Structure 1
């Protein structure tokens, strides 16, 4: 099974068609347009979480219909953009895009850590893949140990035996990555590593794709289970 994680930045039909051409079974797409704003071919389904006043920018998950994908019955909308999905009745997929909601003042790491703790009992019980645009990086400004840091998120996941595929396969430390997953304002001199795939599932392959600035300010990740 191939799972694509790709923040596609200002979704258009051209970008959806491009993503579909990458031949993944499941596509986790932060900044995706709502299903009625795009055209999907036969044989695929979609879930979308977002703000109905911003139809072009939510968290989308598209999958091919030979797979069964359902939202977990214990999904808590308080963690709106961290969406737990049950795939083929065999593993959990958390489509992840910590997003600051105007009515709340939590930082991205706080949002992520709160959701991880909420879903802890499921994460430790079932085969789990957590992937997407985490909006988090080591040394992030505006956070502290009292409020929650990305380092604490990493520690939490590693304690639960979920490890970053990029870092495990490349032998690199968090915050010292040789590659980037995001180029702020589409500028090559502003690279960040903020897209991740943490899992306790045996994987066949993992690839961090090249940056295609015509499509996004992010790079795609492909996980093969």
Structure 2
């Protein structure tokens, strides 16, 4: 099985043909429009098997799967102490494992933007995590940790690791958080401003069955988005 995450930077209806060449079984796509309300027939046809959330039909978070894969949305809470967090899309794959799509957002929060949103999400949903893949655009890296925050990137990674969930990229390439040699994002498409902010995390089962982690060629994908697709391939 191959799972790919990509922030498409909008207008997926004009870009989904690029994903066909990747031949992934499941795509976690950020900043995509809602296929159910799209007027583009080809896009709707490609997205026959999908889940989607968003505040605008033009830009949200989607999970797209091959037609033979069963997607079942999970009813996990998107609130923390009466405040909504976004964007997180949990589902069950083939009645087998959990998949959590992520696109962290500032969400107009003065203190808990981006990775803070995910930290809040974990406070109410971590107990639900079983055999799980978590993938998406986290807009975060340990290099931006602030010493007086208890919900830094490092704290979130530690919380996941205590649950047996680790970054597939870091385990596969034997790199530390913050020392990534392969960027996933180029600010304003500037190749001189590289960062690693897109991740696929997995519980032990996925590490045990991991074949490969790929970050695709930035020289090709930079023309379509400031983010580069990240893929994980498993043998099961």
CA contact 2:141–2:197 (8 Å) conserved in 1: yes
Identify the residue that residue 68 of structure 1 maps to in structure 2: 70
Identify the match of residue 137 of structure 2 among 122, 133, 144. 133
CA contact 2:47–2:64 (8 Å) conserved in 1: no
Alignment RMSD: 1.8
Structure 2 residue ranges without an equivalent (≥5): none
How many residues were matched structurally?
219
Please report how far the alpha carbon of residue 75 of structure 1 lies from its aligned counterpart in structure 2 after TM superposition. 4.1
Following the alignment from structure 1 to structure 2, what is the Cα–Cα distance between the partners of residues 95 and 43?
A: 16
Please report how far the alpha carbon of residue 44 of structure 1 lies from its aligned counterpart in structure 2 after TM superposition. 3.1
Identify the residue that residue 17 of structure 1 maps to in structure 2: 17
Structure 1 residue ranges without an equivalent (≥5): none
| Deviation by residue 1:148-185 (Cα, 9 ceiling, x = unmatched) | 21110111111111111111111111111111000000
Scaled by the length of structure 2, the TM-score of the pair is 0.86
CA contact 1:75–1:84 (8 Å) conserved in 2: no
Following the alignment from structure 1 to structure 2, what is the Cα–Cα distance between the partners of residues 74 and 173?
A: 31
Following the alignment from structure 2 to structure 1, what is the Cα–Cα distance between the partners of residues 96 and 139?
A: 28
- Distance 1:219-1:43 versus aligned 2 partners, 3 A rule: closer
Matched, 1:220 2:220: no
Scaled by the length of structure 1, the TM-score of the pair is 0.90
Identify the residue that residue 176 of structure 2 maps to in structure 1: 173
SS of equivalent residue, structure 2 residue 31: strand
SS of equivalent residue, structure 2 residue 4: strand
- Distance 1:31-1:153 versus aligned 2 partners, 3 A rule: same
Identify the residue that residue 83 of structure 1 maps to in structure 2: 89
CA contact 2:102–2:138 (8 Å) conserved in 1: yes
Following the alignment from structure 1 to structure 2, what is the Cα–Cα distance between the partners of residues 14 and 42?
A: 12
Please report how far the alpha carbon of residue 139 of structure 1 lies from its aligned counterpart in structure 2 after TM superposition. 2.6
CA contact 1:95–1:130 (8 Å) conserved in 2: yes
Larger proportion of helix: 2
Identify the residue that residue 182 of structure 1 maps to in structure 2: 185
Please report how far the alpha carbon of residue 43 of structure 1 lies from its aligned counterpart in structure 2 after TM superposition. 7.7
Following the alignment from structure 2 to structure 1, what is the Cα–Cα distance between the partners of residues 75 and 12?
A: 31
Identify the residue that residue 205 of structure 1 maps to in structure 2: 212
Please report how far the alpha carbon of residue 66 of structure 1 lies from its aligned counterpart in structure 2 after TM superposition. 0.4
Please report how far the alpha carbon of residue 206 of structure 1 lies from its aligned counterpart in structure 2 after TM superposition. 1.8
| Deviation by residue 1:76-105 (Cα, 9 ceiling, x = unmatched) | 363331111111111010101111223x33
CA contact 2:28–2:64 (8 Å) conserved in 1: yes
Identify the residue that residue 60 of structure 2 maps to in structure 1: 58
Deviates most, 42-51 or 180-189: 42-51
Identify the match of residue 115 of structure 1 among 114, 121, 126. 121
Identify the match of residue 195 of structure 1 among 194, 198, 201. 198
